Chain A
């Protein structure tokens, strides 16, 4: 019996000790991130960088949030640090090129943006980069309601027209941009110009009939994303339809009740309550008669 107890105790001790050993446990595989960096220059103002991060879950790409990235201009060093961003739930994060990097920015006509992730318990470290040439886009109009966009690249110290760049010419609407005609994109010629006729004559504008034209270069391998806007009075004037906000309606405020309703309702209330008042007076009459009797 004693031997049996010893065997049992010994076995339990071994099981207990082994339960804490994780040498046989497999380490979980970390996920890998797919990172894309985009460059944006809107209206030739301060450019910014957008980082998009995705990962594959069950064969499908899904956005990942909460991932910290460090962004650098040209090289991974403290002096070229653009900033640290954290990816949001949509899998995106953006950073403006800071003023502190103006000197570095003006040094060359071509820049490389580096996005680096140091890795964490779920994902491996990764880094990616994007190289773009400095470019700008201009927009103008020509007679006969034609829109002209010019794409220029900075070469040394001179802005040079660029040929063969696809430009989207559109008009800005609240839900997105609407192309100025049936053509999706217009290629620039040797003078760097791309032009198209404006065929959206009946489009509503603001109170003065102004609309906003936009010329865009989208995801160009050399120049990234460039866009510029121009306000023109080509839309139809917005005429606010006669609203009944201040009219007397059933759904208006108390002070704007329809007259017919006020007359009918007040009439009924006064008529019924007048009868009730008379009936109360009637009690007083009965009381008086009783006192006299």
Chain B
């Protein structure tokens, strides 16, 4: 009797968690995102046709919104290592329904981090020279190596835990359709769930979880070194690696919270992504906010206290000058307000959490913009005899279109992955169900 109850429970879990076709609202979202991507592609065509002159990047601001966006993507991709690896190794069981969402976000973000860095190149057809003539002494090469490595680890970390789910998906040919069925068969028809297969898979996942943490730390530390090894006001900091990592975990966790809320609503996953998950993610988020606030204080308080002449222009511009509205918006929206909201239990309910997640992500995007641009507008040597427009930077429509297109593209990848694969690991949920039943 109990056995049949358990089987019924299993079937219910499978039915609940199988990938589903997009609803009309989902289709509308896909059309809108595709439209953004197409406009971005057209803008990139213009950039290729006429050169980087279509952007508003000039001699001083040579890293603009593209590099800000690149740093943002790299940051957000770190969530894969936080939720999947750190939680798993630390024995945090409640995080398991969120692992696949985190990995999907990580894969999508790292793909677009790689794309956007090529977009920033004036002559992308010469990209291969980076491999032919790249210097191992350059942090740019370190970044290329580490991003490629992180991408492969993320793909493997998405794939391995999915093997048992693929076996389940293969049972539902009518629901998935012939094409997807063939695809599932290609990816995982060999998984029979034998003890030996399970052991090999478990060892691989544990190895990946251990490997991804140092690689994840390296990827963002190296990204921070792209700045910190360049002698500029605001970048000349030993705090940068840790500052970037803390910010990355925060924005990644924020993105997971947003995704949790949306998928829970769309697919009716209230049973699997519960209020407890939101509450606990809220606690994680507030901890990360406090950590990031601490690094921000470190990053800005000491130079502000000293006010070295070479850095005064940059600091004043950030605190009270032309960048002040964006700076204080990023600090308050991305860090302070989330801390205040999340400290209260009511603030850790799904809807407030969703809003906080959006605030964190938006604040984080602007924070990356502030890391790149104000510094470039305040070089150590004064700007002399340059056109007036060199003193300012506001992205051109092509830059905005490409950036928004890349953000839309990353969301499209997440939507596509969710359409094809289960958002919540099915087999893992069944196993937990059995353990709870015992």
Binding site for B on A (CB under 8 A): 249-254, 257-258, 261-262, 265, 269, 272-273, 275-276, 279-280, 282-283, 285-287, 289-291, 293
Verify A251–B204 contact, CB threshold 8 A: no
Partner-contacting stretch, out of B107-115, B187-195, B238-246, B287-295: B187-195
Taking CB atoms, residues of chain B closer than 8 Å to A291 are 190
Interface string of B179-223 (1 = CB under 8 A from A): 000000000011110101100110110011001000100000000
Taking CB atoms, residues of chain A closer than 8 Å to B197 are 286, 289-290, 293
Partner-contacting stretch, out of B148-156, B392-400, B401-409: B148-156
With A279-B156, A279-B207, A291-B190: A254-B133 Cβ-Cβ less than 8 Å = yes
Q: How far is the CA of A262 from the CA of B197 in the complex (A)?
A: 38
Taking CB atoms, residues of chain A closer than 8 Å to B321 are none
Verify B190–A279 contact, CB threshold 8 A: no
With A272-B211, A272-B215, A289-B200: A252-B137 Cβ-Cβ less than 8 Å = yes
Q: How far is the CA of A92 from the CA of B197 in the complex (A)?
A: 89
Q: Which of A249, A254, A293 contacts B194 (CB 8 A)?
A: A293
Minimum CB distance partner of A253 in chain B? B135
The verdict on B145 contacting chain A, using a C-beta distance below 8 Å, is yes
Verify A286–B191 contact, CB threshold 8 A: yes
Q: How far is the CA of A122 from the CA of B181 in the complex (A)?
A: 88
Verify B211–A275 contact, CB threshold 8 A: yes
Verify B201–A265 contact, CB threshold 8 A: no
Q: How far is the CA of A287 from the CA of B197 in the complex (A)?
A: 9
Taking CB atoms, residues of chain B closer than 8 Å to A249 are 137
Nearest CB on B from A98, distance (A): 39
Nearest CB on A from B431, distance (A): 18
Verify A251–B211 contact, CB threshold 8 A: no
Verify B192–A254 contact, CB threshold 8 A: no
Among B127-150, those with CB < 8 Å from A are 133-137, 142, 145, 149
Q: Which of A254, A280, A289, A293 contacts B136 (CB 8 A)?
A: A254
With A269-B145, A275-B211, A276-B149: A257-B136 Cβ-Cβ less than 8 Å = yes
Q: How far is the CA of A269 from the CA of B194 in the complex (A)?
A: 33
Q: How far is the CA of A293 from the CA of B208 in the complex (A)?
A: 26
Nearest CB on B from A257, distance (A): 5
Verify B137–A251 contact, CB threshold 8 A: yes
Verify A273–B149 contact, CB threshold 8 A: yes
Minimum CB distance partner of B214 in chain A? A272
